[in-house]
Amino acid sequence: MPETVIKAGEEKMLKTIESFKKELQTVKTGRANPAILNRVEVVYYGSPMPLNQLASISAAEAQVLVIKPYDKGILRDIEKAIQMADLNLTPQNDGTVIRIVFPPLTEQTRKQLVKDVKTNSENGKVAIRNIRREVIEQLKKIEKEGLLTEDELKRKSDDVQKMTDKYINMIDELVKEKEAQIMEI
């Protein structure tokens, strides 16, 4: 029973890491990355749909994204959705495709992006620590029920702490990689 509690906690920690990775994909690095538009939703026939289901998105050059809608009638809606998504991007509509040019990042903008990434990483670390706390509380309940000895509780708690450290280190590594991408000129 303690193993299932620990396993469930580890799965939650993995989901936190995956969520953090998705969040990092949407951070601008000065390069054209189609993943930055993952959160953009376009109203199509009255219902919001993800942009990547309505158009092909590709990086034509290092600094340019090209969005080619499957239905040319929604070009204006896509353009409006990108502007409303608060991504600080300016779409250029030429009647058949939308181009988004990524301007080079200034040093100040790069530093701000790194700061934002580190703030988001702290949120991820807090989430992992909260999962650790929940797992240890569940283990203590199991011990109170008499299904776990005090020594086993201590060993299991140590295992949970090692698992927590592993996932926090993963977040730190992801932050280092993203920081290197952002600061690269």
Whether 2-25+106-183 shares its CATH topology with 34-101 is answered: no
Share of the chain above pLDDT 70, in %: 99
CATH class of the region 2-25+106-183: mainly alpha
Question: What was the pLDDT predicted at 185?
Answer: 64
Residue 144 makes CB contacts below 8 A (sequence gap 6+) with none
Cα gap 183→82, rounded to integer Å: 25
Average pLDDT value for residue range 6-35: 88
Question: What was the pLDDT predicted at 169?
Answer: 96
Paired tokens of 30: 């000065």
Does the pLDDT value for residue 3 go beyond 80? Answer: yes
Give residue-wise pLDDT tens across range 89-131.
Answer: 889 999 899 999 887 888 888 888 899 999 999 999 999 999 9
Locus of tokens 């991504």: 87
Please state the domain extents for the chain: 2-25+106-183, 34-101
Integer CA distances (angstroms), 47 to 3, 18, 44, 84, 90, in order: 44, 27, 5, 16, 24
Cα gap 168→123, rounded to integer Å: 11
Helices (H), the chain: 2-25, 51-54, 75-84, 107-144, 150-183
CATH class of the region 34-101: alpha beta
Does the pLDDT value for residue 175 go beyond 80? Answer: yes
C-alpha distance across the termini of the chain, in Å: 52
Q: pTM of the prediction?
A: 0.76
Locus of tokens 């949120």: 123
